[in-house]
Structure formats: C-alpha cells, structure tokens
Amino acid sequence: MSYDIQKIRADFPILRRQINGKPLIYFDNGATTQKPQQVIDCISNYYLHQNSNVHRGVHTLSQEATDLFEGAREYVRQFINAEETNEIIFTRGTTESINLLATALKPWIVKGDEILVTAMEHHSNFVPWQQLCEKRGARLKIVPINRNGELDLEFLEKMMNPYTKLLALTHVSNVLGTINPVKKIIKIAKDKGIPVLLDGAQAIAHTKVDVQDLGCDFYAFSGHKAYAPMGIGVLYGKFNWMRRLPPYQFGGEMIDEVTFEKSTFNELPFKYEAGTPNVEGALALETALRYINETGIDAIRQHEDKLLAHAETKLSAIEGVRIIGTAKQKTAALSFVVEGIHPYDVGMLLDKMGVAVRTGHHCAQPLIDFLGLPGTVRASFAMYNTKEEVDLFADALVKVVSMLK
C-alpha cells in the first residue's frame, strides 16, 4: 500500500490551524507530537462511558475500566515485544521512568561504583544518575562523541570495568538525531555483565523497538512523543530485575498488606504504580500505538527518512546554515545554526511565518556546551509532515537569514 499522507493528515485536527495567518507547519515533534482524532475520541469515550477507578472494584464500571487498562498494558507489551506483561510499568513519562529506576537502584550503588552515560544524553537521562552518584559516592563517567555525533564503541568498551554498575544511554539523540547502534552496545555491555537502560523517548515513534531483540534490561519512553497524550509513559524492566528492586513510591494500590506495625508490597507491576493511575492516558497510549502499527512503522520510517534527506539538502544550500549532527544513521531530527544569528531569533521569526521549531539547548546542555554552541534550531519531523512543508520551511528560513544578516 502507498503512504497516504493526506489521509493521515486528515486525522490530525490541529494541522488545519493557521498561525499568524499562515498554515501551521509543525516541526516540533521532538518536543511533542500532535494527536490524531482517534486518540482524542478515546479519551472522551472513556469519560463518557467507563470512567471509574481500576482494580478491586466489584461494580461493572470498575471491572470494565480495569479490563481496558490491563488490556492497554498487554498491547504495550506486544508493541515493544516484552516477554511478560508484568514487565510493563505505567509512569508519567520517560523522566519519571528513569527517576523510578534511579531511586530503586540506590541500594545497589555503593562508593567507588561507576555509572556510564553518554555526552548526548537528555537531562532526564543524565541528572538522575548524576544525583545518585553524588549521594552514593559513585562516579558518573561520560562516554564522548565525535564531531559527527557518533559514539566510539572501542572507547566505550575500554571505559567499562568491574566497577561499572549501569550503562544508561539514549536510543536516539533528541538534538543530533543520531541512532545509536544500541544492539551492538548492549552486547558489549552484557559480555561484561553490565545492565543497560535505553532512553527510548525519541525512538518509539520512529523506528521498530523490540526489547528482547535489543537485549536491554530497561527501556523508557513517553506517550506524548508517539501521538498519545501527555502524562503517560512506560518503564519496561526485565522481570528478574524489577522483582528484586524496592518500590519507588508508597500508598494505595502498590501494597499487599498494611498493619500498624509493617507493610508488604504488591506483585509486579503494581508495586511500582502507587495511587490512582492515569487510566485514560493508558487507553489513549494503546490507541496511539495501534495507529502507528496500522500506518506501519517501517512506512513511517521511510517517509521520515525522505523528509530528513530533503531537508538536509535544502538547508545545506542556504548560505550561513550549518547542520549539527551528521551521523551516518539518523532519524527525523535536524539541528542547525545560522552563522552570526542567535537560534532564538531564528525561531521567533520562523513562527511569524507559521513554522514551529524548537530552539535552545533542548534539555541537553552538556552536549551543547561540548559542541561549543549557544544552542541550535531544531526541526523534527513526524508521520504527518510533507515535502511541501519542508520546502516552505526552507523558503521561510531564507527570508529569516536575509532579514537578520
């Protein structure tokens, strides 16, 4: 089947908006994606017909909501090919998923241990490990990147030693678009007995994720990067790890038995899901992932790769524009700078022309500092963007450059 871009665009109501009198060109998908009508309808339908608290309710609405909620968990398991449904923990997003893990791993980290992260990490996969190391007397070691935005695997392997307790790295860089060779990296780490966490926030909507094939111990992602609402995310954790780790938060739902003297905790995954969960978010996440599957993740990847290649060609022809991140394997994120012009000014003027991009350090300040930049402009693409939008974006950028030079 051909890729029916107009049919896809018709499913996203916000794309019919105008910004400053211009048709919206939404190139800020790395920050959050827009939502198809099916996801919006799912949320409304839940509150219209099934709204109830889940688990342990004896009445019909609670049982229906519970079945739907646990059905969503099973669908997530299938989507990332986890081995067991209880390895899927619902969170508020990638940030909470990583903080959950960093808190749960605290007893396993002692003075002199080391945690490896890369120079291209989002703050969400950097600061939690930095703070954990400070509290436990461990060392946070940074795997450098080259000027193309790629990791040196030989250097990475040399950094691993008997003190290395965890490797935490991004699957796809939110700034550079680099797709890290995570399967190779995980094998290197596993051969040395080192567990691996992947930050999949920028990968989940753009490339196939199979956690069993990758071999990672933990995988975190956010729904809102994959056409689902904000406030829902997932931490995948291998059963043999998660059953040993302590709870992250305490309260209702995550307990087994509570007395005045002590408490015991629920089985997986519930011991990590304290309090009333984001039921409608989980259902909408399932709907969004179904939408991705129905469209075809491979077809989406091919479409976005074409957009990226076209955008790189167009921007490379504009005098003064320099693309940041030229890895051989990239996904649909394009960062750039314009010589002599601050990224903020570029972004503000593009907005006047109806083009939404992101500017700044993109919550990856150590990376931006490493690159010696004040920030970048980032255009990030999704399944609903078009070649014509890229052309209009490039034309708008030419006007911006001429205005600010």
Q: Catalytic amino acids?
A: 363
Largest Cα separation within the chain, whole Å, is: 72
The phi, psi pair for 400, rounded to 5°, reads -60, -45
Contacts with 378 (C-beta within 8 Å, 6 or more apart), sequence order? 28, 30, 175, 333, 334, 335, 336, 357, 358, 359, 362
- In terms of Cβ atoms closer than 10 Å to its own Cβ (0-12, 13-18, 19+), residue 18 is exposed
For residue 16, what is the DSSP state?
A: G
Pairing of β 376-380 and β 333-338: antiparallel
How far, in Å, CA of 222 to CA of 233, rounded? 4
Q: What residue type is 337 in one-letter code?
A: V
Other CB atoms within 10 Å distance of the CB of residue 53: 15
Check: CB of residue 273 under 8 Å from CB of residue 134. no
Q: What's the Cα-to-Cα distance from 364 to each of 164, 182, 206, 269, 361, rounded to whole Å? A: 23, 20, 20, 31, 6
Phi, psi of 399 (to 5 degrees): -65, -40
Q: How far apart are CA 201 and CA 233, in angstroms?
A: 9
* Residue bearing tokens 């524009």: 321
